């Protein structure tokens, strides 16, 4: 049950943002075995003055279209699954909505299963 927070510069159309949601979910479904309809995601848009990135850190040529994708998930995936997720995200977001691979920035935050309550005050995974 990943929880996804996506941050990006303001100004892209709704179809662009929906394509990001679709691509992120599909990549997680395919590589992290996320179940059907397990979609808990937000996009936060920022004006240029409130969004900072390095255009060259670690030799990656980022543009103002960089998208930060933070995924909080159970700490149950292997290193290979994580690598597959990153590759698939770049492929899918490159196809639609057309984000350059250099502009897909992913942060995976892993938590223990008992750190979730999905409603009703119950720790469903504990």
The model's pLDDT over 67-99, given as tens digits with 9 standing for 90+, comes to 999 999 999 999 999 999 999 999 999 999 999
pLDDT given at position 1 = 84
CA 83 centroid distance within chain: 13
Q: Where are the domains of the chain?
A: 3-115
- Average pLDDT of the chain is 97
Distances (CA, A) of 75 to 40, 72, 85: 17, 9, 14
Query: Does domain 3-115 correspond to CATH entry 3.30.429.10?
Result: yes
pLDDT given at position 61 = 98
Q: Which residues belong to the active site?
A: 2
The model's pLDDT over 36-74, given as tens digits with 9 standing for 90+, comes to 999 999 999 999 999 999 999 999 999 999 999 999 999
pLDDT given at position 51 = 98
Q: What is the pTM for the complete model shown?
A: 0.95
Token digits of residue 98: 């057309």
């Amino acid at each position: 049950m990943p929880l996804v927070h996506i941050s990006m510069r303001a100004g892209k159309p709704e179809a662009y943002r929906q394509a990001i949601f679709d691509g992120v979910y599909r990549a997680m479904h395919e590589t992290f075995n996320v179940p059907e309809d397990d979609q808990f995601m937000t996009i936060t848009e920022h004006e240029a003055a409130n969004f900072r990135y390095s255009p060259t850190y670690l030799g990656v040529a980022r543009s103002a279209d960089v998208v930060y994708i933070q995924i909080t998930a159970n700490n149950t995936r292997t290193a290979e699954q994580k690598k597959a997720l990153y590759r698939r995200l770049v492929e899918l977001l490159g196809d639609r909505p057309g984000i350059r691979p250099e502009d897909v920035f992913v942060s995976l935050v892993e938590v223990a299963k008992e750190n979730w309550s999905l409603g009703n005050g119950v720790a469903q995974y504990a």
